[in-house]
């Protein structure tokens, strides 16, 4: 018998603005007592809900249970910037571009995932939160403009559509004259992440059962798996772990996963006169030319800024970090929106992102009947959806060809030994953020 005890469970601080905009959810259903299920999915983010939804399609009528340690949408799934990007988007690269064949395959897989998510959005009536708006890239510096030029040349080689934008084009859309130029690509879907993820969970009602505030603290594996939570336990032949970086807390993929925290702030509601002074469209998302720059979004009468990242092997960001990076958000906000003095942030938050050194996920069957679709790397709204769906295909024995592609990817590479890993990661993040300069 193997026992996998969790040395920690997630405890995300301060709710995101996306979560804060939604009405308070009804009280959670918490797992209590002993029960059995055909399938247990651990984690109710993009990967977990995609896996659960796929299982409802492949094995309707079976008992599918999802357990999440927190409320649905409270974790990273409801804390991100909401860009579901179809193109390669390698946070660790200098310019979002990779090799041609690799990128063409990635685009195919990303689009399959976006269409799977679109199916859920249509089926569960989530269209207002799932908008095929495309994305803007903005460059504030000469280096940024060079990076976007290379990006456009790469898109042309891939045969992907894009539009080059002047400073004035970008100002017309965003209201800010901060950017010297940019690029528009049409395939990105912009979501309200907390609304989308909660909506998918709601849509699964009646087909899958979702228990919240029910952290799995141990898994006892013999012929079947028994998962324990503080108030209950559940026995099942098949477990799908979709807990992102927390999979390491159970002893899996040790020293293979990097735990990064990203930080964001959302403004208070803009008044009518403030929106007139700002101008531009009322719904857009802009990605910086430098991957470590500021992502900026307008969502109706709110503006959202995301920048700054830290390496936290403890898997926890502190309140102090959230506050201190808030100052960086305010600076970026003031530089871009000088016409909006006195517009403060109403929400500030941090969220956990899991990366691997070779950008591959922790995907596959770890032990008999114990599957993982974790560490989906930077583009987790899309890759989480993708690998969540594919792990359900694999576990249920469906012959989806992309499963083979996913299984062919190498495992996450071993990290360097400590303290070199932490020192190196922190130094690299410091340098990359410094290099981002005015793109931040
Ligand atoms: C500020 C920020 C901005 C981002 N912007 C973008 C973006 O624009 N586009 C993009 O694609 N990605 C973005 N990301 C990344 C994206 O949010 C993640 O990659 C994505 O949420 C990963 O999905 P997931 O389902 O794999 O994991 P998660 O969303 O982290 O879900 C895992 C779930 O597992 C639960 N869990 C963990 N441990 C346990 C346990 N022991 N028992 C039960 N449940 C457990 C957690 O509570 C959580 O709900 C951003 C992230 C952050 C923080």
* Binding site membership of 210 for ligand 1 (Cβ less than 6 Å): no
Whether 411 and 142 have beta carbons less than 8 Å apart is answered as: no
Ligand 1 nearest-atom number relative to CA 250 = 41
Structure token digits, residue 236 = 């099942």
Full-model pTM = 0.96
Tens of pLDDT along 277-289? 999 999 999 999 9
Q: Is 10 in the pocket of ligand 1 (CB under 6 A)?
A: yes
Q: Which pLDDT score, from 0 to 100, does residue 91 have?
A: 46
Q: 96 CA to middle of ligand 1, Å?
A: 21
Q: Please state, as a whole number, how many other Cβ atoms lie within 10 Å of the Cβ of residue 325.
A: 24
219 Cα distance to chain centroid: 26
Nearest CA to ligand 1 atom 51: 80
Q: Is 34 helix (H, G, I), strand (E, B) or coil?
A: strand
pLDDT at residue 378, as a whole number: 82
Spacing, Cα 440 to ligand 1 middle (Å): 23
Residue with tokens 């999915």: 41
Give the distance (Å) from ligand 1 centre to CA of residue 184: 26
Three-state SS for 335-391 is: HHCCCCCCCCEEEEEEEEEEECCCCCCEEEEEECCEEEEECCCCCHHHHHHHHHHHH
Per-residue pLDDT tens digits for 240-265: 999 999 999 999 999 999 999 999 99
- Residue 399, judged by CB atoms within 10 A of its CB (0-12, 13-18, 19+), counts as exposed
| Residue 22 alpha carbon to ligand 1 centre in Å | 18
Evaluate: CB of 82 within 6 angstroms of ligand 1. yes
Find the mean pLDDT for residues 303-328. Answer: 95
In the chain, the percentage of residues whose pLDDT exceeds 70 is: 98
pLDDT at position 236, please? 98
Say if ligand 1 is within 6 A of residue 353 CB: yes
For position 399, what pLDDT does the model report?
85
Residue nearest ligand 1's atom 13 by CA:
80
Task: Specify the ligand 1 atom closest to the Cα of 377.
Answer: 19
Per-residue confidence (pLDDT) for residue 10, from 0 to 100: 95
- Beta strands in 229-294, from DSSP E residues, in sequence order: 232-236, 238-241, 258-267, 283-288
Q: What is the pLDDT of residue 117?
A: 98
Per-residue pLDDT, averaged over 30-48, amounts to 98
For residue 215, which atom of ligand 1 is closest to its CA?
A: 42
What's the pLDDT band for 92 if we cut at 50, 70, 90?
very low
358-376 mean pLDDT = 96
State in Å: Cα 110 to ligand 1 middle: 17
If you average pLDDT over residues 300-313, what whole number do you get?
Answer: 97
Q: For residue 375, which atom of ligand 1 is closest to its CA?
A: 26
Residue 353 alpha carbon to ligand 1 centre in Å: 7
Phi, psi dihedrals of residue 382, rounded to the nearest 5°: -85, -50
Ligand 1 pocket check for 183: Cβ under 6 Å: no
Distance 68 CA to ligand 1 centre (A): 12
Share of the chain above pLDDT 90, in %: 93
Alpha-carbon gap, residue 283 to 289, rounded angstroms? 20
């Amino acid at each position: 018998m193997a026992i996998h005890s969790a040395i920690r469970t997630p405890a995300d601080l301060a709710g995101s603005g996306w979560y804060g905009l939604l009405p308070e959810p009804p009280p959670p259903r918490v797992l209590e007592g002993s029960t059995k299920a055909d399938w247990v999915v651990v984690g109710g983010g993009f990967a977990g809900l995609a896996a659960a939804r796929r299982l409802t399609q492949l094995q309707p009528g079976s008992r599918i249970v999802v357990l999440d340690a927190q409320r649905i949408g409270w974790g990273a799934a409801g804390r991100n910037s909401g860009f579901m990007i179809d193109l390669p988007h390698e946070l660790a690269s200098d310019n979002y571009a990779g090799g041609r064949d690799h990128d063409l395959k990635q685009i195919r897989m990303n689009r399959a995932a976006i269409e799977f998510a679109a199916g859920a959005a249509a089926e569960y009536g989530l269209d207002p939160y799932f908008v095929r708006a495309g994305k803007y890239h903005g460059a504030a510096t000469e280096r940024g403009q060079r990076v976007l030029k290379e990006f456009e040349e790469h898109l042309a080689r891939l045969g992907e559509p894009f539009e080059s934008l002047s400073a004035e084009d970008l100002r017309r859309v965003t209201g800010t004259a901060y950017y010297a130029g940019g690029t528009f690509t049409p395939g990105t879907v912009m979501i309200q992440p907390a609304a989308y993820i909660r909506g998918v969970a709601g849509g699964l009602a009646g087909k899958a059962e979702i228990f919240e505030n029910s952290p799995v603290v141990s898994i006892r594996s013999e012929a079947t798996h028994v998962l324990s939570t503080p108030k209950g336990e559940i026995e099942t032949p098949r477990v799908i772990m979709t807990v992102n970086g927390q999979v390491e807390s159970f002893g899996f993929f040790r020293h293979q996963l990097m735990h990064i925290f990203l930080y964001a702030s959302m403004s208070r509601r803009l008044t009518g006169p403030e929106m007139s002074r700002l101008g531009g469209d009322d719904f857009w998302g802009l990605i910086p030319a430098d991957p470590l720059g500021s992502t900026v979004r307008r969502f109706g009468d709110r503006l959202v800024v995301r920048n700054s990242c830290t390496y936290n092997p403890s898997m926890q960001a502190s309140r102090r970090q959230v506050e201190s990076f808030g100052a960086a958000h305010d600076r970026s906000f003031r530089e871009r929106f000088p016409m909006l003095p006195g517009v403060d942030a109403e929400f500030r938050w941090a969220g956990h992102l899991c990366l691997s050194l070779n950008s591959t996920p922790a995907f596959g069957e770890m032990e008999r009947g114990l599957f993982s679709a974790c560490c989906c790397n930077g583009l987790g709204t899309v890759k989480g959806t993708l690998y969540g769906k594919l792990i359900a295909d694999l576990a249920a024995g469906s012959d989806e060809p992309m499963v083979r592609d996913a299984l062919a990817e190498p495992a996450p590479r071993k990290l360097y030994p400590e303290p070199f890993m932490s020192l190196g990661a922190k130094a690299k993040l410091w340098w990359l953020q410094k290099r981002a300069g005015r793109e931040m």
